[in-house]
Homo-oligomer: A and B are copies of this chain.
């Protein structure tokens, strides 16, 4: 409490390899297979992770550090949706641009994780990997507003 730091420094633990760049027109990530390449010295820390079917990936989405953040945004950039608080959305452009996605873990080989459904471009920095624990990470009866309703994935 006394010495609350004003800055925190992270060191990425790895990066994403999937060949999908920001120039790609693909925007449905559900079936995308990516590799997460973890720093080799952390390889041992990945042991047993493949006993889980799903993992949580925290990654860094900063694209333009000179960009001024808007605190009110249209969810998903859609002008049809109301203007809402930035932190009430999952916009990647946020005060600390960290995204959290739960993905299927297909395989772990040494320091490489093969996952399905990670919505991150080639080269994205990964800052943490966690096992997905249903009893801790999911909520049975969560309420969300109409404007945040997820639509079915595109065919």
Residues of A at under 8 Å CB distance from B? 1, 4-13, 15, 42, 44-49, 51-54, 56, 58, 60, 62, 71-72, 82, 84-90, 94-96, 98, 100-102, 122-123, 125, 127-139, 141-145, 148, 150
B144 near A88 with CB under 8 A, answer no
B5 near A125 with CB under 8 A, answer yes
> Of the candidates B8, B54, B85, which one forms a contact with A139 in the assembled complex, judged by CB atoms under 8 Å apart?
B54
- Asked, given contacts A48-B145, A127-B96, whether A87 binds B42 with beta carbons under 8 Å apart, the answer is yes
B6 near A11 with CB under 8 A, answer yes
Interface centre among A12, A49, A95 (most CB of B within 10 A): A95
Once bound together, how far apart are the Cα atoms of A136 and B137, in whole Å? 11
A53 near B136 with CB under 8 A, answer no
Q: Which residues of B contact A49 (CB under 8 A)?
A: 85, 87-88
How many protomers of this protein does the assembly include? 2
Minimum CB–CB distance from A78 to chain B (whole Å) comes to 15
Q: Which residues of B contact A144 (CB under 8 A)?
A: 51-53, 131-134
